[in-house]
Amino acid sequence: MTPMERADVPAATRIVVKVGSSSISGENAGQIAPLVDALAAAHGRGAEVVLVSSGAIATGMPYLKLDARPDDLATQQAAASVGQNLLVFRYQQSLDRFGIIAGQVLLTAGDLENPTHRSNAQRAMERLLGLRILPIVNENDTVATHEIRFGDNDRLAALVAQLIGAELLVLLSDVDALYTKPPHLPGAERIARVPFGDALAGVEIGSVGRAGVGTGGAETKVSAARIAAEAGTSVLITATPLVDRALAGDDVGTWFEPDPARHTAAEGAALA
């Protein structure tokens, strides 16, 4: 089996898509519908699709009369408790247009580090996908502590892709691709492709995202891309408004090649 290329994306059978808080909350809440359109199109052609969605805290903030992301853990947990319910409701409302049912999956880092919890999570995800449910995964912010948090949902998405053996991981943000330097600087050039193992020497990787809302950035996305690529998953980093083109196999964003060794016959047999 050869590693997935862009042209193969429309034929992918198992896809994980991650979207950040800044892309689907506040003034950008309207991006949920076109995001769901793209997910539903992939689902409709037979792919098993998992959405890893940040945004619980950001969605809950207005209902707690908060103008900025809270710093203390208890208030973060309270905002997440309110926001997670509303966030999944908004996704389900949009998915109703396609007759697709969402399933909520909340995880902590400890769940994927504990063999028993990891096995339970894997079994549940496999069953949901087998039933043609679209799992919506988020960190369980209501019970997670500083010591056991994933830190950002890019890493969570990479670990979920690894957990279920996804062929493709799409990491969405406010920026359309990885650039040689922060894209607002003169001379910044889009990096279309990153070979497996490329250290990206000379590339200035900075943070991206709407200030005060998200916790991730370009650095976390590159780190997550490497985790997934090492597990044999192809990765695409691009902007949320381009998700439909990304899932159609168009030349958008930055493509990270997966470890080719994970696609040999012997490796495939070992992982089965």
Residue 161 burial (C-beta neighbours within 10 Å; 0-12, 13-18, 19+)? buried
Q: Is 141 annotated as a binding residue?
A: yes
SS3 142: coil
Residue among 82, 128, 81 nearest 105 (CA) = 128
Sign of CA dihedral 241, 22, 224, 188: positive
CB atoms within 10 A of CB 112: 18
Give the span between the Cα atoms of 192 and 211, in whole angstroms.
26
Q: Is residue 153 a known part of a binding site?
A: yes
Instruction: Enter the tokens of residue 193.
Output: 């492709």
Q: Does 120 show up as a binding residue in the annotation?
A: no
220: closest CA among 145, 166, 142, 156? 156
71 in a labelled binding site: no
**Cα dist. 19→50, 120, 198, 202, 210 in Å?**
11, 24, 25, 27, 13
Residue 18 labelled as part of a binding site: yes
CA–CA distance from 141 to each of 112, 128, 157 (Å)?
15, 22, 15
Query: Under 8 Å CB-to-CB from 68, ≥6 apart: which residues?
Result: 61, 212
Site of tokens 């949009």: 94
Give the residue numbers of the binding site for substrate: 54, 141, 153
Give the residue numbers of the binding site for ATP: 18, 173-174
Give the residue numbers of the binding site: 18, 54, 141, 153, 173-174
